[in-house]
């Protein structure tokens, strides 16, 4: 297939990440870039050598040479560009989380169902199902060395909030625009990793949860915030799996991101993000004696640390199926909405 032409909708921090990722792959070129700010859009086009820029994404969709679009706008601006892109016959890569509300999840699902010939990839497989750690843990589970997986325990707490990580992201501190706090920002990654290890077979049957906000006064950083800063949930699934899940950004304390997976024959402990410890601890028993094995996992070099663009192009060229179709992402979002609604 000849070089793909891609239009980027959203010229901010992650838009630039996607530009670099597509260029590293080499099979696509960014032909257009768009955002609501002329200053930001023009600067990104000049910095990244994108030949065309616009403030109206519909100009991108009207270009017959554009094969696909990548949507990297704030989440509350995802839905309409995706619907319009599919109506224009363009493949779509949509950033995570794909929508901030149940209503917009439904609109996206309807639009995707009406365009089955087009590739639509949601980005929460990026730091999860595409990593060497995911493949290593899944291989342990699939080999039977853990036995029946009956419990997952995941905790990640930090005193820092989203706005301290991304000063331009005030929208994410408003629940009506961002959908929620750390459960929306990171929850799609957490569920993508943990449920993907079990082939997404467990179906949620029950949930108990709490969320709290107002733990830190961040009024000097953002004029308004109503998203959760801390929360936890106990999830029950139809396979008998239980899952304790805790996330916090803005809590009074810090617990490094850690996952523990318990099986009837063995267990693992790891930090699933690729930039954290490369070691996976595997616990088992041999002749009744407890054993601990360290498994060293090598992640790709830094320049290929974002394989999302490669996977998207593979899907367009027919070499792969989307690791995260929107139907699967919608199931994960349903769990996160239920936590936030508790």
User: Residues 183, 336: contact at Cβ < 8 Å?
Assistant: yes
Task: Report the relative pairing of strands 149-158 and 242-249 from DSSP bridges.
Answer: parallel
Dihedral, 163, 167, 170, 171 alpha carbons, nearest 10: -100
pLDDT of residue 301: 61
Give the residue among 130, 97, 171 at the shortest CA–CA distance from 21.
130
pTM, 2 dp: 0.95
DSSP string for residues in 253-300: S-EEEEEEEEESSEEEEE--STTS-SEEEEEEEETTEEEEEEEE-PPP
65 CA to centre of own chain? 29
User: 71-81 as b/e, with b when 16 or more CB fall inside 10 Å?
Assistant: bbbbbbbbbeb
- What burial class does residue 277 get, using C-beta atoms within 10 Å of its C-beta: 0-12 exposed, 13-18 middle, 19+ buried? middle
CB 123 within 8 A of CB 71: no
Burial (0-12, 13-18, 19+ Cβ within 10 Å), 131: buried
pLDDT confidence of residue 300: 72
Q: What is the spatial distance between Cα 70 and Cα 18, in angstroms, rounded to a whole number? A: 8
- Which residues, listed in sequence order, are joined to residue 9 by a DSSP beta bridge? 34, 71
Nearest CA to 265 among 241, 282, 281, 280? 282
- Fold of the CATH domain 4-118: Rossmann fold (3.40.50)
Residue 181 near residue 213, CB atoms below 8 Å: yes
Question: Is the bond leading into 97 cis (omega within 30 degrees of zero)?
Answer: yes
Q: CA 17 to CA 256: how far, in whole Å? A: 25
Question: What pLDDT shows up at residue 70?
Answer: 98
First to last CA, the chain: 48
Q: What is the pLDDT of residue 304?
A: 56
* pLDDT of the residue at 305: 57
Please report, in tens digits, the pLDDT of each residue of the chain (342 residues total): 469 999 999 998 889 999 999 998 999 999 999 999 999 999 999 999 999 999 999 999 999 999 999 999 999 999 999 999 999 999 999 999 999 999 999 999 999 999 999 999 999 999 999 999 999 999 999 999 999 999 999 999 999 999 998 998 999 999 999 999 999 999 999 999 999 999 999 999 999 999 999 999 999 999 999 999 999 999 999 999 999 999 999 999 999 999 999 999 999 999 999 899 999 999 999 999 999 999 999 877 654 557 999 999 999 999 999 999 999 999 999 999 999 999
Contact 72, 22 (CB under 8 A): no
How crowded is the C-beta side of 185, counted as CA atoms within 13 Å?
24
- 312 three-state secondary structure: helix
Domain ranges of the chain: 4-118, 132-341
Q: Is 264 left (phi over 0), alpha (psi -120 to 50) or beta?
A: alpha
In angstroms, the CA 99 to CA 187 distance is 13
Q: What is the CATH number of domain 132-341?
A: 3.30.360.10
Measured CA to CA, the distance from residue 264 to residue 231 in angstroms comes to: 28
**Residues 6 or more apart in contact with residue 119 via CB below 8 angstroms:** 68, 91, 92, 312, 315, 316, 322
């Amino acid at each position: 297939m000849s070089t793909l032409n891609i239009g980027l909708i959203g010229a901010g921090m992650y838009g630039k990440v996607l530009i670099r990722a597509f260029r590293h792959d080499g099979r696509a070129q960014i032909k257009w870039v768009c955002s609501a700010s002329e200053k930001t859009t023009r600067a990104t086009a000049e910095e990244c050598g994108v030949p065309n820029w616009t403030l109206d994404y519909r100009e991108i969709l009207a270009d017959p040479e554009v094969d696909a679009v990548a949507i990297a706008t704030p989440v509350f601006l995802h839905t309409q560009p995706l619907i319009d892109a599919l109506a224009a016959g363009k493949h779509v890569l949509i950033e995570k989380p794909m929508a901030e509300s149940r209503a917009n999840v439904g609109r996206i699902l309807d639009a995707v169902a009406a365009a089955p010939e087009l590739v639509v990839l949601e980005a929460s497989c990026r730091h999860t199902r595409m990593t060497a750690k995911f493949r290593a843990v899944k291989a342990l589970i699939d080999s039977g060395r853990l036995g029946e997986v009956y419990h997952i325990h995941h905790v990640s707490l930090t005193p820092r909030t989203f706005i301290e990580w991304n000063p331009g992201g005030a929208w994410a501190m408003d629940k009506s625009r961002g959908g929620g706090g750390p459960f929306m920002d990171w929850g799609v990654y957490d569920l993508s990793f943990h449920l993907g290890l079990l082939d997404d077979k467990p179906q949620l049957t029950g949930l108990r949860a709490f969320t709290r906000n107002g733990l830190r006064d961040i009024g000097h950083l953002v004029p308004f915030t109503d998203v959760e800063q801390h929360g936890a949930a106990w999830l029950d699934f139809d396979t008998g799996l239980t899952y304790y899940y805790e996330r916090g950004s803005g809590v009074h304390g810090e617990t490094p991101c850690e996952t523990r997976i318990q099986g009837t024959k063995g267990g693992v402990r790891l930090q699933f993000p690729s930039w954290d410890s490369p070691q996976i601890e595997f616990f088992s028993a041999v002749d009744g004696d407890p054993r601990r094995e360290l498994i060293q996992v090598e992640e790709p070099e830094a320049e290929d640390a974002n394989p999302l663009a490669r996977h998207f192009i593979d899907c367009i060229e027919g070499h792969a199926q989307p690791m995260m179709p929107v139907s699967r992402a919608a199931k994960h979002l349903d769990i996160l909405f239920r936590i936030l609604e508790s």
